[in-house]
Amino acid sequence: MSPTADGKAPLHGASQNGHWRVVQALLLAGLDKDAVTCNGSTPLHLASHQGHVEVVRVLLEAGANKNAVVKDGYSPLHLASDRGHLAVVRELLEAGADKEVAPPSGITALHLASLNGHVEVVQVLLVAGAAKDAVATRGFTVLHAASHVGHVDIVRELLEAGAQADATADNGSQALHFAAEGRHVRVVELLLARRAMAFDRHAAERLAGEAADGIKEVVRRFSKGLQELIEQAAQEAERERQQILEESTALARERQRLEEAWQHLNVERARMEAGQVPSGHQPTLYPSPRESEATLSRSMAPQGQVPNHYIVSIGDRAYTVLPLKEPGASSLGHDLWNHIVEVPEGWEVLSTQMEGFNHAISVLGQHRWGAMVLGVRNASRGFDAYWTPLFGDGSFAAQLCEANVDWIETAGQEDQRRFRMTYSGLRLVIRKANLPTMMSSVKHAGSGALSTPRMVQHFQGAVYNGGGYRSPMPAPMPAV
């Protein structure tokens, strides 16, 4: 079948006029899908130029060359974009048509769509990745083209896509020049606003950089401060660890000393039971926590003497502690732990309800007594505890430690003179009235209270033997 004078074959005519079923039949009959006319147009060129999307789809499915160019160098995508056939442009792009094919003039499909004001085609091409700054002959960019003809919407699309507003053509003109020459006011205003935005963007970027540097400095200082805090905390933790280690070591030594003393006493008891001690010798027996109350009570006697150097006198009354200890004793003894004491005849436990109690405890609490706290009766027949100078730095001396403590308890249901001491840092305060007039002299205790001289007087009361109280014995005459 011979073509017409201009080289058109039947497939060209059917494609140009949109007869897609005829095109389909001709293709099935074996006609050339890429036949060219005298100027190089293929059926796909003609269908694209006329916007016949059904014919374009049939030709593409048959394998027509989607990037074929006419003698002037234009592809089907050029022709569809030039005429604004959006559906055809999409079909060609989906089929993989080259967006950057250009004739010798460098005009791309995006140039043609921008020159002719086809906004949607421009959008589709930009989304597909068409070069927004493509340059034709004489440095003519896509934005130059849209600005030259005054298509403000396309200028806006190109600017938002990142097109260079300050791109310069070969004659030195920019988009603003082309818009001004064409008297396109809205395009001029848009380009001026974008130029101001660009200036502000540069300033903002500079400020952002300075802010970033400031933030880095803040982070650096914060990190340094945090590191210093961590180091201080580590040092404090190490000091506390050392303190705990020292205290643990001291406790371990004390425990070892107690165990050695306990072993020594057990040996002494074994020797006594084996008859290896002189007649009448009474060794000190410390109670074991595993022994019964009856065993603890064996080492006590209800009466005896209180040597004068255990006593502090306040007014006309004498005061001491059980188990007995000198007022100035500064170290805890082994006689406080789980021990039973008995108040001697003629003595009584100091009570908060007694006249002059506040003055008495303020004086007694200034002495160490070899104890952390002093126990006294309270109004509810329980016991309160007051600090001695051995606690802390001594600043809490004579102050109330705790009310109603359970560290002292009566040793029997009916016996109100025997008490069990269950705290190793505690001594019970007792008092005796009416000091004998045979005292030759008095002296001031360290706290300002009056105390009898060391070798002046012995009071009938308890004689402490280290573990309990032994039987009364005649008091020697005092040295006068």
Q: What confidence tens digit (pLDDT) does each residue in 344-356 have?
A: 888 999 999 999 9
Residue whose C-alpha is closest to residue 457's, from 318, 326, 343, 323:
318
Find the mean pLDDT for residues 191-216. Answer: 70
Lowest mean pLDDT among 314-323, 326-335, 357-366, 415-424: 326-335
Residues 305 and 190 in one domain: no
Look at residue 266 and tell me if it is in a domain.
no
- Between 2 and 63, residue with greater pLDDT: 63
Look at residue 255 and tell me if it is in a domain.
no
- 177-184's contacts with Cβ under 8 Å and 24+ in sequence apart are 178/144, 178/147, 178/148, 179/147, 179/148, 179/150, 179/155, 181/148, 182/147, 182/148, 182/149, 182/150, 184/147, 184/149, 184/150, 184/152
Look at residue 260 and tell me if it is in a domain.
no
Look at residue 76 and tell me if it is in a domain.
yes
Average pLDDT value for the chain: 80
Q: Report the C-alpha gap between 170 and 135 in whole angstroms.
A: 11
186, burial (CB in 10 Å: exposed 0-12, middle 13-18, buried 19+): middle
Bridge partner list, 460: 305
Answer whether residue 72 shows pLDDT above 80. yes
Residues 188 and 306 in one domain: no
Residues 444 and 321 in one domain: yes
Summarised one tens digit per residue, pLDDT across range 207-216 is 667 778 878 8
Residues 34 and 168 in one domain: yes
Domain termination site, one of 167, 196, 225: 196
- Residues 6+ away with beta carbon under 8 Å from 251: none
The structural domain count of the chain equals 2
Look at residue 283 and tell me if it is in a domain.
no
Q: Report the C-alpha gap between 143 and 107 in whole angstroms.
A: 13
Domain termination site, one of 196, 231, 265: 196
Look at residue 218 and tell me if it is in a domain.
no
> Amino acid letter at 346?
G
Domain holding 154: CATH number? Answer: 1.25.40.20
> Can you read off the two tokens belonging to residue 395?
């600043």
The percentage of residues in the chain with a pLDDT greater than 90, rounded to a whole number, is: 54
Residues 308 and 451 in one domain: yes
- Predicted local confidence at residue 415, as pLDDT: 64
Residues 179 and 304 in one domain: no
Lowest mean pLDDT among 66-75, 122-131, 202-211, 384-393: 202-211
Look at residue 328 and tell me if it is in a domain.
yes
Residues 166 and 48 in one domain: yes
Residue 135 structural domain: 10-196
Residues 314 and 445 in one domain: yes
Look at residue 352 and tell me if it is in a domain.
yes
Domain termination site, one of 178, 196, 214: 196
